[in-house]
Amino acid sequence: MGRITARRRVTRIRRDAAPTQRADTLAVEEPLEIRVGGRQLSVTMRTPGNDFELVAGYLVSEGVITAGSDYSTARYCAGTDSTGANTYNVVDVSLAGHVPPPAPGIVRRNTMTSACGVCGKDSIESVHTRSAHDPAADTLTVDADTLLDLPDRLRAEQDVFDKTGGLHAAALFDADGELLVAREDVGRHNAVDKVVGWAVLADRLPLSGTVLQVSGRASFELVQKAAMAGIPMLSAVSAPSSLAADLADDLGITLIGFSRGESMVVYTRPDRITTDGADLPAAVTN
């Protein structure tokens, strides 16, 4: 397995003080080639670790699989460095016999960066992937105080961030705020794919009745990934984009932004959130 962190000598400069040198810890970023049945599907930049979950979650996001029974096996293959050692940067997945191979249209034409989960799509239309699950019909309700606690609960799980300060994180909670799984990665979309991939390997899709808490902002791609996994509620520490809010509205996903301990902003489907035992209105009026 590849390294998660790396050490580097750095120079630190402060006002009114002499520069100093020390060792610093960095989050590792390496390419991962994803293959299905021996054929390349995509290359993404990621932090090594939980790679099989990452690949499984990615296949859910792309609509290749919709349940744990669609996923057969995965293995590391090829990919060697100058010494002949395995780099663990190539994963080949075998799908169940009833699952057709990925359509040519979803093959990525270039490498996805750690900042982008939709890079390499051939058209605007191909960005929108239809989910086999319906988050709008989910009857989940969560107490507001429980939701406000989730960012701190997620932060407590960020072990590698504590060492590097350079990773995003995503975690899945149930309606009572119990942590189900948490994952870190240099890419926010990769962290979510690892969470969804955990559910695939545990045969827990769709993820009804759950809340996805993420560090950073809520982008269109994260809303789409939540929908593809059947997650009805997405909460982010920072702001959502306008397209993320529009998509969440269309799909019936509760979208929360600026969740920072004492307050949060609910952009869509506030009716799933209770405050002092009272339900919020079904929609926010302008």
Is 119 designated active site? no
Phi/psi of residue 75, nearest 5 degrees: -150, 150
Single-letter amino acid, residue 243: L
C-alpha span between 259 and 244 (Å, rounded): 16
Angle between helices 188-201 and 51-61 (to 10 degrees): 90
Render 139-201 in DSSP notation, one character per residue: ---EEHHHHHHHHHHHHTT-HHHHHHS--EEEEEEETT--EEEEEEESSHHHHHHHHHHHHHH
Residue 200: how many other CB atoms lie within 10 Å: 25
**Residue of 67, 116, 132, 179 marked catalytic:** 116
C-alpha span between 221 and 227 (Å, rounded): 10
> So which residues are the catalytic ones?
116
